[in-house]
Amino acid sequence: MTTPEIRVQGLHKSFGDNHVLRGIDLEIAQGEVVCVIGPSGSGKSTLLRCVNLLEEPTEGQVFVGGTEVTDPDVDIDAVRRRIGMVFQQFNLFPHLSVTENLTLPQRRVLRRDKAAAERVAAENLARVGLAEKAGAYPSALSGGQQQRVAIARALAMGPEVMLFDEPTSALDPELVGDVLAVMRSLAREGMTMMVVTHEMSFAREVADRVVFMDGGVIVEQGRPEQVIGAPRHERTRHFLSRILDPAMAEVEEGVADQGGTG
């Protein structure tokens, strides 16, 4: 492994008094798939959003593909073209058809001509299994289909890295599988991926590494079978027991739920 594709150094992020990230160091190698897990409010989404500077870090540095994203003089638009981002709420452009959702960014940002943009769009729609929806509008698609279009839209820009922010959390359970299948094939093709997720089976099967975050720090990380299968830390064990078998969780006194961020 040479230079890491993503390098996060001493990252802090505060929203007012709320110190969300308290010193994160993380390296992700080229082609590596890293799943970030942890309770809500642990800062995992904020970490992801700091990588493409949707959130401005309070302190620390982020490098993507050797370029410092946090450098005040960097051309952030140029850096973001190399980073694909997939959101929990899909964020497709509702006034554009599926194909236009994929072609408009290519044409406006990458200055591709119409024919080239449409070719790339068709390729990527086929890649996520939605070639037949090319002319549809987002409102006519199911949540799972919208999310696959969102993935295709990011891929059409030819990114080196893909960031996924809880991509299946807003989906009906029966639609989760299609989205995960697309992500799995993407991982197999060697894409560098950073995935914030609650899908433990996906993390176990696809991730090269699982990072467990809690309270704004990385508590432990390692191979998925180790972090999910045999966690070393009490906090990790506690989180996993609740997420893997929510029905078995007991009412706690004064711990997670009353904290508000639990």
Partner 1 sequence: MADTDTGIQPKRTGLTRTQKRRLSRGAQYAVLAAAVIAFALTADWGRLQNQFAQPGIAKQLFPDLITVALKNTVLYTLSGFVVGLALGMVIALMRLSSVGPYRWLAGIYIEIFRGLPALLIFIFVGVGVPLAFPTVQYPGGTYGKVAVALGLVSAAYMAETIRAGIQAVPKGQMEAARSLGFSPARAMVSIILPQAFRIILPPLTNELVLLFKDSSLVLFLGVTLEQRELSKFGNDLASQTANSTPILVAGLCYLLITIPLSLVVRRMETKALREIR
Q: Which residues bind partner 1 (CB under 8 A)?
A: 52, 54, 77-78, 80-81, 83-85, 87, 89, 91-95, 104-105, 108-110, 139, 150, 153-154, 157
Q: Are 160 and 190 a contacting pair, CB within 8 Å?
A: no
Q: Given the complex with partner 1, which of 80 and 127 has the nearer CB atom?
A: 80
Q: Given the complex with partner 1, which of 142 and 201 has the nearer CB atom?
A: 142
Shortest spacing between CB 91 and partner 1, in angstroms? 4
Contacts for 141 with CB less than 8 Å, ≥ 6 apart: 98, 133, 149
Residues 225, 87, 99: CA angle, nearest 5 degrees = 120
Shortest spacing between CB 105 and partner 1, in angstroms? 4
And the tokens for 87?
């959101």
Q: Given the complex with partner 1, which of 21 and 79 has the nearer CB atom?
A: 79
Shortest spacing between CB 43 and partner 1, in angstroms? 18
Residues 40, 230, 233: CA angle, nearest 5 degrees = 55
Collapse the DSSP code of 252 into the 3-class scheme (helix H, G, I; strand E, B; otherwise coil) and give the result: coil
Handedness of CA 24, 27, 31, 35 (dihedral sign): negative
Shortest spacing between CB 139 and partner 1, in angstroms? 7
Q: Given the complex with partner 1, which of 95 and 189 has the nearer CB atom?
A: 95
Shortest spacing between CB 182 and partner 1, in angstroms? 18
User: Residue 227 is which amino acid?
Assistant: V
Q: Given the complex with partner 1, which of 95 and 247 has the nearer CB atom?
A: 95
